[in-house]
A and B are shown apart, each in its own frame.
Chain A
Amino acid sequence: MADTKIGAYICKGCGLGERLDTDKLESIASGEGKAAICRQEEFLCQQSTVDKIQADIDNEGINRVVIGACSRRAKFEAFNFESTCVSRVNLREGVIWVRPDTEEAKEATQEMAEDYIRMGCTEVKFMSPPSASQEQSVNKHLLVVGGGITGMTSAIEASKAGYQVSIIEKTSQLGGVAGQLHRKVPSRMPYASPQDNGIDDLNNQISANSNITVYLNSTTTKTSGAPGRFSVDITTESGSTTTENFGAIIQASGFTPYDANKLPEFAYGKTPDVVDQLGLEKLAQEANGTPIKRPSDGKVVENVMFIQCAGQRSDKEDHLSYCSGHCCSTSIKQAMYFKESNPNCDAAVLYTDLRTPGAGGEDFYRSAQRKGVTFTKGIAKEVVAGDNQHTIKFTDLILNDEVDLAVDMVVLATGMLPNSGVNIDAPPAEEGSVEIPVESILNLDYRQGKDMPQLVHGFTDSHFICFPYETRRTGIYTAGPVRRPMDINQAIDDATGAAMKAIQAIENSALGKAAHPRSGDLSFPSFRMEGCTQCKRCTVECPFGAINEDEKGYPSYNESRCRRCGTCMGACPVRVISFENYSVDSVGQQIKAVNVPIPDEDDENAVAKPRILTLACENDAYPALDMAGMNRIQHSAYVRIIPVRCLGSVNTIWVTDALNSGYDGVVLLGCQKGENYQCHFVKGSEIAHYRMSKVNDTLTTLNLEKERVATYEVAITDIQRIPQLIDDMAKTIEDIGTSPLKF
C-alpha cells in the first residue's frame, strides 16, 4: 500500500458548489483521506479537466482517483482512467438530488457528502488495479457435442469464422433427427411447400472442411478444465479413449421423441396405422413422392387425421405439460405429403390452438389451407383400431359435438424430451427407491455436478429473457432442442448464436476477461490459503462451478470459469477471499470510515443522528436509487449507500462491523429470489437472505433489536419504493431508538 497515491477531485458543477461546502470536502479528502492531490473544479467532466487528471496520473504518480461528482453510472467514459482505481463518490444523484434544498436540511446533507468522500478515499486505498492472472491459454479449438442439425450448423458456422471444430456424435452418422426427415418445413419464401432436409448439404460441407473433425460412435467420458483449456476424454463405442483440449464447448445433444407407447388411448401399438410424426417421415421416405400407403395392408391412404398435442400440453401423468413448438408446422408439412402425392386424400389436423407463429409459419399454414388440408378445432379422446378403418372419437369444439370419424391412418403429434443428461439439482433419491441411471452428456468433473443446470422440464435454457446464452457454466453453451423445444429453423439460429458465444469465450478467456454479465472484467478472486479452514462454503455456493476442491479439501479456483460476482467472498467465514478491487476491506473499511456521531448525553436538546448502512446490488437497486435522484425523490440523510457486485458477495462481517461501530440500522437491497429469480449471479439474493437470517444471533448477542437489519428484494423499477424502504428504516430507528453501541 506504500505506493498508493490518491488524487481526489471534487466537482462544483450541477449545483454541488452551491449546495455543499466543497472546501470542507477538499480538506477531508486531503486530511483524513490522505489525498496527495486534491482539487475542486467548476466542471469536472469537461475534457480539459479530465486531461488534467490524466496528467496527474501520468506525471505526478497518482494511481488512485477519487471523483467527487455524479454517480458512477453517469459520465462513465470521462472518468474511465486505465490502469488506475477509480472511486466515484456520488454527490449528485446520491446526495444533493435526494435532499431538500433547505437551511434545516443543510447540515445533514453536508455530513452525508463528507462521509461519502471519506468512503471514497478509503475505498481506493484498499483497491489495486486488476490485471489478468498468467494462467490463460489460447485454444481456438471448439468442441461440439452432438452431430444433429444443430451441432453440424454450429461446427460449420464456427469454422467459417476461422476456428477449428471437433464434433462428437454418439451414433454412426451425422444428421440426427433432421436426417430422418423426408422433407423439412420451409425456411425461405414463399414458405409454401416442404423443402429438402438439408442434411446432405451439411454433410458435404463438413467432409470438405479440413477444420472440422468428426468422431462417430463416440461420447465424452470426462470434461475437466476451464474455458481456454478444457480437457475432454472422447471414448468410442469400442472403449478406446483419446484426450483432446478445447477452448469452449457447445452442447447440441438434441431431443428424444416422446414414447407414443404411453398413449394406448390412441391405439398406438395396437395397429401399425397409428404412427408418430417420425414414423410418418419413414413412410413418406419409402413412398418417395408416390401416394403414402398405410402400414397394415399397403392400401393407399385416402384419409388421415393428425392429432395435435398428443401426450402434450396435458397435466395427465406421463404426459408433457409443455408445448413442443414445432409439431403444428410438422403436421402441416406432413399433411402436404399426403395432398401432394394424392390430391384425393383427405388430410385433417385436429388441434386446440394452431401454433404457427411468425411470417413464414402463417404463410405455411395458409398454403396448407390452399392445398386442401382441413383443420378441425377439437380434442381427441380415443382412437379405436378397426379391421378396415380406425375410428377417432373427438369433441368438435366449434360445433360443440361428439364426433366419430373413420380414417385409414392416424398420426400422433407427440412432443420432444431434451437430452440434457443428469439433473444436477434433483433431490437425492429416497432410500429404497430404484433409480434409473441417467447417462451424463458432458461428464464434467465440476463439484456442482456432471451436466449443465436445467431450467424447467429438463431443458437447459438460460434463465434470462434478454440473455438466452447467459450460461451457468462459463464457456459451455447449449443449443437446439436440448435448450428449449424448437423447430429446425430456430435450431439453426440457435446453433449459430451458441457458436458466437463459444468463440467469444475462447477470445476472452485467453485475455483473462470475464464473460457476461461482467464482460471484460479482469479482476478475479484470490484465496489466502493459509487462513482457509476447508469449510467448503465457497466451493458449494459458487453459482458457476468455478471452484473445485483439491485432495486436501482446499478450494481449487478456475479463473476463466469465474464470473467475478463475489459470492465466494460473501461466503467465506474466515474472509480469505478477495478481489484486487473489491474485497472485505474495500467495503468494510468504507463502513468504518463513516463518521458515526456519538450523542452528547449531557445535552438534552441534542438531536439524534442515526446512521443506516445500505448495501445495494449495483445492477438493480443502485440504478433505481440513481433514478430516484434524477427524479428528486428524497430519502433520509442518515443513510450511507455502498453498491455491491451482488448481494451474494456481502460478507456478514460488514453487517456486524457496522452494528459494532454504532450504526443504527442496516438495509440490504438485492434482486428477486426464488423460481423467477432475477439475480444474474443466480442465487445472490437468496443466499444473502439466508445469511442475514443468521445475523439475528449476532443481534441478540449485541443486545440489539432484530428490526435493525432488513433485507429486501427490489427491482430496478422500484424507483419510488427503495427510498421509502430507507425511510422506513429511519422511522424504525426513531421508534426503537438509536443504537447503544456508539462509543
Chain B
Amino acid sequence: MTDTIATNESILVIGGGISGMTAALEAAECGKQVILVEKTPSLGGRVSQLYKYFPKLCHPTCGMEINSRRIKANKNLRVITMAEVDEITGNAGNYNVSITKQPRYINDNCTACGECANAVEAKFDNEHNYNMDKRKGAYLPFNMAYPQRYVLDSGIIGTDDADKAKAACRYDAVDLDMQKETVQLNVGAVIWATGWQPFDAANIQPYGYDRYDNVITSVEFERMMDDFGPTGGKILRPSDNKEAKNIAFIQCAGSRDRNYLKHCSRICCMASLKQTTYVREQYADDGKATIYYIDIRAIDRFEDFYAKVQADTNVSFIKSKVASITEERGTGNPVLHGVNTEGYDRYDNAHDLVVLAVGMQPSVDREKFPVEVITNEHGFIERPEGSTGMFAAGCASDALDVNRAVQNATASALRAIQVVNRFSKTEV
C-alpha cells in the first residue's frame, strides 16, 4: 500500500513510549493531525515495564490507562504499530516520510478473545519481560497493551502453529498472508521520541552479568515485581528461585564511566532508592538492601525520598565503585569486592542478589537516523536550533526521568505546532 494519509499540516511522532504518547496527545488535543509510529506491537514503551514510579510509588499503568483512553477518544490521532521510519526527505513544513510496517498477521477484526494463543504451542522469548520467561507465538504483549490486539510471532509463520491460530480464530482476524508494507507520509514536523534502551550489562566484564545468574539488571528487577511477570511478583534468585532477601544495588553500572557510557543516566539513583522499597514491601524487616554509589543524585525534591530511604535501618549506603564481583562456591551468592572510599576500608560482601543500576542509552544509534539529526557525543539529540522542523522528545534528548521526559515531550509538541502553524495557510 502506498497511500498519502497525511498533509504538511500533520505532525509525525516517532516512538510510542510515554514521551511519544504525550507529544502526540498534546498536539492532537490542540486540534492538530498527528501520526504516531511505534516499532513494537503496542504503545507504552519502557514505562509499561515498570512496577512503580519514584518518588510517589504509584503505578505507571494508571497513567497508561488515562493516556490510552485519551488516544482511543481522539480522532485527530492515528497510531501505526510495528512500523519504523526508513527515510525522511524535505524541509521544515514539508517532509516526505517513508515508513515500513511489519506484518502483525492479525487484522482489525481481532477481539482479543485469546483463542489463537490457546491454540498455538511454540514459545518465544518474552521481550516485555526482558526475555526472563517465554510467551506463546500468538500473544497479547501485556495486560494493558494498546492496541488491544494479538500478534503472531513471525517465527510461527509457515509452521503448524500458524494454521492452528488461523483455525482457532472465529472472526477471520488471522491473516497469514499479511505482507510488509510501505507507507508514504507527507508531514510538516517530526518528533523523535525514540527513547532509550538499557545499557548492555554484559559489557561490564568485572560484574559478570553474563556469567553469574544472580547478577541481574534494574530493569529485570522491575519485572520481578509484576504479579503477571516472570516470577509472579516475587523477588527470586534466578539460580535457585529462592527468595532474595539481601540485595546489593550497584549504581553507575555502565554510566559515568569512560569505558562504557560517559554520561550520568540520571534515573538510576532514584530507581535504586525506589527498589529498596520493593525489598521492604516483600520482606519487611527480613529484607536488606545495600546501595554502592558514587554520588546519590536525588535532585530537587527527590531529596525527601532519599531522606526517607536513609531512615530505613535495613538500607545501607556504601560510597564505592564496586571493583568486581565473584561467585561464592556452593551458595551461588555474588560477592562484591571493592573499597569503601569513606575511610578506605576494603570489603568483600556477599549478597543473595545483585541488581545493576544500568544506564540509559539512546535507542537509536547516532549513526542510524534515517535523516541528518544533530546529536551530542552520547547520542542524544541536541536542542533545536534554527529553522528545523525536527525535534526530540523525552529520552531521545537526554537521560531523563519520566516527569522530565513528559515535560520535554510537551514542549516538543509546541515546537512542532509552531512549524505546522507557520506553514499552514489557515489563520490561527
- Answer yes or no: are A and B bound together in one complex: yes
The answer to whether B66 touches A619 (Cβ under 8 A) is yes
Which residues of chain B from 376 to 428 have any CB-CB distance to chain A below 8 Å in the complex?
376-378, 380, 382-383, 385, 398-400, 402-404, 406-408, 410-411, 413-415, 417-418, 421-422, 427-428
Residues of A within 8 Å of B296, CB to CB, are: 353
B284 within 8 A of A: no
Residues of A within 8 Å of B144, CB to CB, are: 623, 627
Which residue from B143, B297, B407 sits with its C-beta under 8 Å from A497? B407
Which residues of chain B from 265 to 298 have any CB-CB distance to chain A below 8 Å in the complex?
265-266, 295-298
Which residue from B29, B58, B319 sits with its C-beta under 8 Å from A519? B29
Decide yes or no: A520 and B74 within 8 Å by CB, A456-B304, A499-B414, A716-B61 being known contacts.
yes
B372 within 8 A of A: no
The answer to whether B73 touches A359 (Cβ under 8 A) is no
A383 within 8 A of B: no
How many chain A residues sit at the interface, stated as a range, is: 35 or more
A80 within 8 A of B: yes
Of the candidate stretches A172-180, A426-434, A459-467, A536-544, the one touching chain B is: A459-467
Binary per-residue interface labels of chain B (328-366) against chain A in the complex, 1 for a CB within 8 Å, 0 otherwise: 000000000000011110000000000000000000000
Which residue from B22, B29, B59, B63 sits with its C-beta under 8 Å from A508? B29
The answer to whether B414 touches A496 (Cβ under 8 A) is yes
How distant is the Cα of A411 from the Cα of B78 in the complex, in angstroms?
A: 54
B213 CB to nearest chain A CB (Å): 27
Decide yes or no: A323 and B300 within 8 Å by CB, A189-B382, A619-B62 being known contacts.
yes
The answer to whether B411 touches A497 (Cβ under 8 A) is yes
B168 within 8 A of A: no
B132 within 8 A of A: no
Binary per-residue interface labels of chain A (170-191) against chain B in the complex, 1 for a CB within 8 Å, 0 otherwise: 0000000000000000011111
Residues of A within 8 Å of B403, CB to CB, are: 465-466, 468
The answer to whether B262 touches A457 (Cβ under 8 A) is no
A344 CB to nearest chain B CB (Å): 28
A160 within 8 A of B: yes
A358 within 8 A of B: yes
B53 within 8 A of A: yes
How distant is the Cα of A160 from the Cα of B25 in the complex, in angstroms?
A: 20
Residues of B within 8 Å of A13, CB to CB, are: 111, 113, 170-171
B185 within 8 A of A: no
Residues of A within 8 Å of B53, CB to CB, are: 465-466
B97 within 8 A of A: no
The answer to whether A493 touches B59 (Cβ under 8 A) is no
Which residues of chain A from 655 to 707 have any CB-CB distance to chain B below 8 Å in the complex?
671-672, 676, 678, 680
Closest B residue to A45 by CB, please name it: B111
Decide yes or no: A623 and B408 within 8 Å by CB, A76-B73, A357-B297, A465-B402 being known contacts.
no
**Interface residue count for B (Cβ, 8 Å)?**
90
How distant is the Cα of A43 from the Cα of B110 in the complex, in angstroms?
A: 11
The answer to whether A323 touches B72 (Cβ under 8 A) is no
How distant is the Cα of A70 from the Cα of B66 in the complex, in angstroms?
A: 19
B109 within 8 A of A: yes
The answer to whether A322 touches B428 (Cβ under 8 A) is no
B198 within 8 A of A: no
The answer to whether A465 touches B56 (Cβ under 8 A) is yes
Decide yes or no: A323 and B111 within 8 Å by CB, A189-B377, A468-B403 being known contacts.
no
Residues of A within 8 Å of B46, CB to CB, are: none
The answer to whether B262 touches A397 (Cβ under 8 A) is no
How distant is the Cα of A77 from the Cα of B299 in the complex, in angstroms?
A: 42
The answer to whether A161 touches B143 (Cβ under 8 A) is no
The answer to whether B143 touches A719 (Cβ under 8 A) is yes
Which residue from B59, B111, B148, B343 sits with its C-beta under 8 Å from A716? B59
Residues of A within 8 Å of B256, CB to CB, are: 362
Residues of B within 8 Å of A302, CB to CB, are: none
Closest A residue to B53 by CB, please name it: A465
The answer to whether A716 touches B399 (Cβ under 8 A) is no
Residues of B within 8 Å of A46, CB to CB, are: 109, 171
How distant is the Cα of A464 from the Cα of B378 in the complex, in angstroms?
A: 29
The answer to whether A466 touches B60 (Cβ under 8 A) is yes
A333 within 8 A of B: no
B57 within 8 A of A: yes
Binary per-residue interface labels of chain B (206-250) against chain A in the complex, 1 for a CB within 8 Å, 0 otherwise: 000000000000000000001110000000000000000000000
Which residues of chain A from 354 to 405 have any CB-CB distance to chain B below 8 Å in the complex?
354-363, 366, 377, 397-398, 400
Which residue from B47, B58, B376 sits with its C-beta under 8 Å from A189? B376
A55 within 8 A of B: no
The answer to whether B148 touches A74 (Cβ under 8 A) is yes
Residues of A within 8 Å of B140, CB to CB, are: 630
Which residue from A313, A356, A678 sits with its C-beta under 8 Å from B264? A356
Of the candidate stretches A200-208, A483-491, A554-562, the one touching chain B is: A483-491
Decide yes or no: A631 and B143 within 8 Å by CB, A358-B266, A500-B414, A717-B61 being known contacts.
yes
How distant is the Cα of A358 from the Cα of B114 in the complex, in angstroms?
A: 42
The answer to whether B65 touches A313 (Cβ under 8 A) is no
How distant is the Cα of A77 from the Cα of B74 in the complex, in angstroms?
A: 10
Residues of A within 8 Å of B304, CB to CB, are: 321-322, 456
Which A positions have Cβ atoms within 8 angstroms of B? 13-15, 43, 45-47, 70, 73-77, 80, 140, 157-158, 160-163, 187-191, 313, 321-325, 353-363, 366, 377, 397-398, 400, 456-457, 459, 461, 463-469, 484-486, 490, 493-494, 496-497, 499-501, 503-504, 507-508, 516-517, 519-520, 619-620, 623, 627, 630-631, 671-672, 676, 678, 680, 715-717, 719-720
Interchain Cβ contacts under 8 Å between A and B, 8 examples: A15-B113, A162-B428, A189-B382, A357-B297, A358-B264, A467-B406, A716-B59, A720-B227
Inter-chain pairs besides A400-B344, A717-B227, 10 sampled, C-beta below 8 Å: A75-B148, A359-B398, A400-B343, A469-B407, A493-B407, A496-B410, A496-B415, A500-B26, A619-B62, A715-B62
Which B positions have Cβ atoms within 8 angstroms of A? 18, 22, 25-26, 29-31, 47, 51, 53-54, 56-63, 65-67, 70, 72-74, 108-109, 111-114, 140, 143-144, 148, 170-171, 226-228, 256, 262-266, 295-304, 307, 319, 341-344, 376-378, 380, 382-383, 385, 398-400, 402-404, 406-408, 410-411, 413-415, 417-418, 421-422, 427-428
Interface pairs A-B: 8 shortest CB-CB:
A162-B428, A466-B63, A496-B411, A497-B410, A357-B266, A500-B414, A359-B263, A353-B295
